[in-house]
Structure 1
């Protein structure tokens, strides 16, 4: 069993350089927490795994392929492996929990800018 406090995750994110911190890596699943400041844009970052984003806090827009949606706390966004996607027009600091399915290929992490 793995138990992680959301407050501890946010503290860890504050202490690390970059926008993402790893929550867990358990074979076929990897989970990260990410944050992007208001006014920023997250670069397009296709991966070799399917991804699920859960919006914890903040508001903005997400582009997945050719589709664009507004996101707010409680929203989920599914991104099929290999599909370009990005967050942009971030109005309030955006915090997401990111679940990568089938993380058997660790080299996919190197695709993130």
Structure 2
């Protein structure tokens, strides 16, 4: 993963072309700077995620479905913003086959404290 200036503009199509086709989870890290890690996530069939150790933001590129976080179910679609605190159970369900999501992990292990 390169962090050169030229690699700081990454289109969704370019990112998707880098996804491993054989993995069910289909996730790839694209950029890292300080505590920020940016990934593309495009699960197929089911979402096998487990809680993460850092705060996380999803931005839906395309696709629709249900997002379950802390037992609450919400519909999502393109351009939606989803926040998940560190350690929180969450997953995508009933999602379309074209689901593609930007993922932003940031902050310290255990998540940031509320102010």
Q: Against the structure 1 CA distance between its residues 34 and 44, is the aligned structure 2 distance closer, same or farther, given a 3 Å change threshold?
A: closer
Distance 1:63 1:83 in 2: 10
**2:113 match:** none
Q: Work out which of the residue numbers 9, 18, 23 in structure 2 matches 1:3.
A: 9
Instruction: Tell me how many residue pairs correspond in the alignment.
Output: 102
Please state if 1:27 is matched with 2:40.
no
> TM-score of the superposition, structure 2-length normalised?
0.79
Which structure: greater helix fraction? 1
Unaligned runs of 5+ in 1: 106-113
Q: Is the 8 A contact 2:59 2:79 kept in 1?
A: yes
> TM-score of the superposition, structure 1-length normalised?
0.80
Identify the structure with bigger relative contact order (alpha carbons < 8 Å, sequence gap 6+).
Answer: 1
Deviations 1:83-104 (A, max 9, x none): 01000111342100000012x6
**1:98 match:** 103
**1:41 match:** 46
Distance 1:13 1:56 in 2: 15
Shift of 1:36: 2.0
Higher Cα radius of gyration: 2
Distance 1:97 1:54 in 2: 5
SS for the counterpart of 2:103 is strand
**2:56 match:** 51
When the two chains are superposed, the root-mean-square deviation of aligned CA atoms in Å is 1.8
